[in-house]
A and B are shown apart, each in its own frame.
Chain A
Amino acid sequence: MDFTDFAMQVASAIDNFTNYVSQKFGAVFDFISAIILGINDPLTAALNFVPAWLVIVIAVIGGFAAGRLPLALLGGLGLAFILAMNLWSAAMVTFSLVLTAALISLAIGIPLGTLIAESKRMNAVFEPILDFMQTMPAFVLLVPAVFFFGVGVVPGVVATIFFAMPLPIRLTAHGLKMVEPEVIEAGEAFGASRMTILFFIKLPLAFKSIMAGVNQCIMMSLSMVIIASMIGAGGLGDEIIRSISRLQVGRGVEAGLVVVILAILIDRFTRRISQKIDPTA
């Protein structure tokens, strides 16, 4: 049997639908683009404007203040390696994309996770949606992003947000649900309102779990931003794709290493900072 015709019909139906949606809701997509570019463009400009040595100094001092000598060394050497590989500005583009996507994911994800933990109905609504989002392979997310936003930074960030958001939502909700019932009862018994209990008891006690979500969100953003280079998001992913297509193994390995270093730095720094500001410690 040949399903070629049928497949083409389905594809064109989807095309029609997305065209219709992007025409009808053009304003919405423009708005989303404006927000993403409004965060990402100044951030990229700023990161590239600040001289590399200053960033390295800040990382060393910050690493020392947040933790100890190893973190300062890691920060200094890691960034120096990126500079030495002549991949500084690509790394800054990637970093800026990661921050933009993670910021938006968290700004939506943490409140949404809170809502899900507080309301059984919201939980019932979002549980299957989150399941669906989490089963989507990273690669497949690029397709709808391109449909609605074309190519470039915006669809890259949109795909990244979709990829990185479920985990902080889940971990926020999980942290809030895991708060000892007795502590919540204590709040109620002393006359606290639901909001007081949420902000003064539940959220502080869920801090560790929420911060694990923050860390995971940033890490997943990084991996997705690299993949999103395929649709023109730019940054380190571009270097990798270019070297693959030109069979430049050495250059590809260099760019890959820089991604790994960036990942390690982001991971260690966010962990250390969240330990440092943990109110329950």
Chain B
Amino acid sequence: MESSELAIEIRDLYKLYGPKPEAALGHIRSRSMRPEDSGHFVALNNVNLAIEPGKICVIMGLSGSGKSTLLRCINRLIDPTGGQIFIQGHEITHASTKELRRIRSSKISMVFQHFALLPHMTVLDNVAFGLRIAGISRKERRDRAAHALELVGLSGWNDRKPSNLSGGMRQRVGLARALVMDTPVLLMDEPFSALDPLIREEMQQELLRLQNTLNKTIVFVTHDPNEAATLGNRIAILLKGEVVQYGRPLDIVISPANDYVRDFVRGINVFNVLSAGQIVDPARPPVVLTGTSVTSLPISRSTAGPVAVTDGTGRILGVVEKTASLGASAADWQSALSQDYIRIAPDQLVAPFLEELSRNGRPLVVVRDDDSLVGVVTGSSVLKALAANSGVKSKCEEARQQPESKSAMAAEQRAG
């Protein structure tokens, strides 16, 4: 039931710092005053975000752009000056102190940049802290905390103090403390930026591993573009309190909304964002094989390389490597069908499979869980995606690429 509704919805959110924030907000909303003339610091300026359940939404921006403020508005550690926030459809912007405490312990948990562990409590007690506040019995909270510590790979450290742990381990405790609450929403404020680069990557992978089974709605703040690309299903880019772009990583990388975003995503390693569904080759539509007929033959038979073959309902039957010699006979196609291909899901990253593609020429076929085909990834479709990212395009390439990238996107939209 809840799957159809948004996990978090933020509407027209403002946060102003200064002597009379409400009055100033009135002027800004009625457009009788520009934010910069209001005499107030506008930390959040008309933020709108819709976050789907089970997705990781990354909030990225320079230091001081309002990322932490936005995140803290979601659990109302900071009270917004105006606007609304809905968690699973329930408005929390006007919740009373008491309601708020209940919402915080049942719906939203949080991981902090500097871990924010309590140094006078053991690791286990730290993890159980939220449960203790929620009034869970001692036995149950200790069991659940121990389980959460196991989940993050820290069993055996229960009775140590946080000061005995390394930075990475401390943040695992921070993560366990949030996970143990079993909340649908997880807020993370630059949780890995205080860690060494190697540990940081390890933690990112750990988070993705956990997310695979936990399926939480995660709002993740970072200033590191590569971290954003690695983790985010969606990225919101914040500039001076405004969301200047909100979209999938690849869209942001390929078509940045302005120079600020362009500068930001320049550092993103494109292989971190290229998922299979996003780069299927539009020049390689599938062949449909139904009983005795063959339709949608490849437009140009001279195109060397494999095509995917589906049945009438779009389900994958196999691939055919050498199409040039085949006629329109269904039997010929049937006998040429091969199962020697790499099957990947639309949202899987292609990077790990590229070597196989280039060395052995095994086709990369993008197929959804229900066997329906999305398309085929080819060398040329990968190259096109890379070229689009490099930003160096000739005029004629640009002209040619426009419709193609659109159709690639359309293909992906069907995939996503």
Interface residues of A (CB under 8 A from B): 180, 182-183, 185-193, 196, 200-201, 204-205, 207, 279-280
Contact = CB atoms under 8 A, between A and B. Distances in A.
Contacts of B407: none
Contacts of A187: 129
Contacts of B328: none
Given A188-B104, A280-B119, 13 more contacts: A182-B116, A183-B116, A186-B110, A189-B108, A190-B129, A191-B102, A191-B105, A191-B130, A191-B134, A193-B101, A200-B129, A207-B120, A279-B120
A185 B116 contact: yes
B410 interface: no
Contacts of A190: 104-105, 109-110, 129-130, 133, 177, 181
Contacts of B133: 190-192, 196
Contacts of B118: 183, 186, 200-201, 204-205
Given A205-B120, A280-B120, A189 B114 contact: no
Nearest to B174: A186
A43 B238 CA distance: 66
B38 interface: no
Contacts of A279: 120
A178 B102 CA distance: 28
B226 interface: no
Contact of A182 (B105, B114, B120): B114
B387 interface: no
B119 A189 contact: no
Contacts of A205: 118-120
Contacts, number: 61
6 A-B pairs with least C-beta separation: A191-B105, A190-B130, A186-B116, A279-B120, A189-B110, A191-B104
16 contacts: A180-B116, A183-B118, A187-B129, A188-B104, A190-B104, A190-B105, A190-B110, A191-B101, A191-B104, A191-B105, A191-B133, A196-B133, A200-B129, A205-B118, A207-B120, A279-B120
Contacts of B110: 185-186, 189-190
Contacts of B217: none
B109 A189 contact: yes
A186 B116 CA distance: 6
Nearest to B187: A189
Contacts of B104: 188-191
A193 B96 CA distance: 13
B310 interface: no
A183 B114 CA distance: 9
B211 interface: no
A182 B101 contact: no
Interface string B98-140: 0001101100111011101111100000000110011000000
B210 interface: no
Nearest to A190: B130
Contacts of A182: 112-114, 116
A191 B108 CA distance: 10
Nearest to A185: B77
Contacts of B187: 189
B75 interface: yes
A204 B101 CA distance: 22
Interface in B133-165: 133-134
A117 to B, nearest CB: 18
A190 to B, nearest CB: 4
Contacts of A180: 114, 116
Nearest to A279: B120
Nearest to A201: B118
B65 to A, nearest CB: 19
A182 B114 CA distance: 8
Nearest to B103: A191
A205 B119 CA distance: 8
B101 A189 contact: no
B119 to A, nearest CB: 5
Contact of B120 (A185, A186, A191, A204): A204
Scoring A185, A190, A279 by chain B CB atoms within 10 A of each residue's CB, the highest score goes to: A190
A279 B117 CA distance: 14
Contacts of B109: 189-190
B353 to A, nearest CB: 40
Contacts of A183: 116-118
A258 B117 CA distance: 46
A279 B238 CA distance: 41
A180 to B, nearest CB: 7
A191 B187 CA distance: 14
Contacts of A188: 77, 104
A269 B2 CA distance: 62
Contacts of A207: 120
A190 B181 CA distance: 9
A185 B104 CA distance: 12
A188 B101 CA distance: 8
A193 B129 CA distance: 13
B301 to A, nearest CB: 62
Nearest to B76: A188
A119 B118 CA distance: 23
Interface string B70-105: 001001010000000000000000000000011011
A185 B101 contact: no
